[in-house]
Amino acid sequence: MKDTGMIRSLDSLGRIVVPVEIRMTRNIDIGDPIEFFILNEEIIVLRKYTSTECTFCRSLDHVTYYKDQFICNNCLKELGDPGRLSAEAEPLEDPAEDESIRNSRRTKTEEMSQRLEKAMVEHPYANQKELAGVLGISQARVSQLKRKISTTGK
């Protein structure tokens, strides 16, 4: 045990002042609760009281003690979950490129829809297979585009 050499007297109400040097180095603020321990007949130990509530969310349920801190299961899970970080980082992965890919895909579909419409005008009696041949795409793509054209009201 280290002797600080600091001595304080009890006042008339039995109070003592915790020296400011100790308060500052031990991170004790005005209003903080202090715990008393009895070491032996002569020695009383004071300690800043840490309640057993979670340091992060103040929950009292399923609290674990870790490195001088109490932490609840929920906060522990959040801290330890590697998926949390990657999920947050995901939108940062080049959103500009993503956007341009989406745009080009949309443009291609619109372009093909227009070509299909034109082909249907030019070959009014052509079936899907023939239209697919004209446009150089699959029959499935033709029927997909046809549905798209009819739903957009063209």
Residue 57 engages Zn ion in binding (rule: CB under 5 A): yes
* 65 versus 127: smaller Cβ distance to Zn ion: 65
Q: Which is nearer to Zn ion, 46 or 76 (CB)?
A: 76
Cα–Cα distance, 17 to 60 (Å, whole number): 31
Question: Which contiguous run of DSSP H or E holds residue 113?
Answer: helix 95-122
**CB of 72 within 8 A of CB of 63?**
yes
Quick check: 23 binds Zn ion (CB under 5 A)? no
How many CA atoms does the CB half-sphere of 143 hold within 13 Å?
6
Instruction: Based on the shown chain and the rule CB under 5 A, indicate whether residue 16 belongs to the binding site for Zn ion.
Output: no
Site for Zn ion in 74-113 (CB under 5 A): 75
Q: Determine how β-strand 34-38 pairs with β-strand 44-48.
A: antiparallel
**Region near Zn ion per CB under 5 A, out of 19-27, 56-64, 107-115, 123-131:** 56-64
Q: Nearer Cβ to Zn ion, position 20 or 57? A: 57
Least separation in angstroms between CB 76 and Zn ion = 8
DSSP per-residue codes, 132-154: HHHHTS-HHHHHHHHHHHHHTT-
Q: Which of 50, 59, 113, 128 binds Zn ion (CB under 5 A)?
A: 59
Please tell me whether residue 63 binds Zn ion under the rule CB under 5 A.
Answer: no
Using CB under 5 A, which of the segments 17-25, 58-66, 78-86, 102-110 binds Zn ion? 58-66
Q: Determine if 54 is a binding residue for Zn ion (CB under 5 A).
A: yes
Are the beta carbons of 100 and 126 closer than 8 angstroms?
no
Residue 16: HSE in the Cβ half-sphere, 13 Å Cα cutoff: 11
Q: Is 116 one of the binding residues for Zn ion (CB under 5 A)? A: no
Site of interaction with Zn ion (CB under 5 A): 54, 56-57, 59, 72, 75
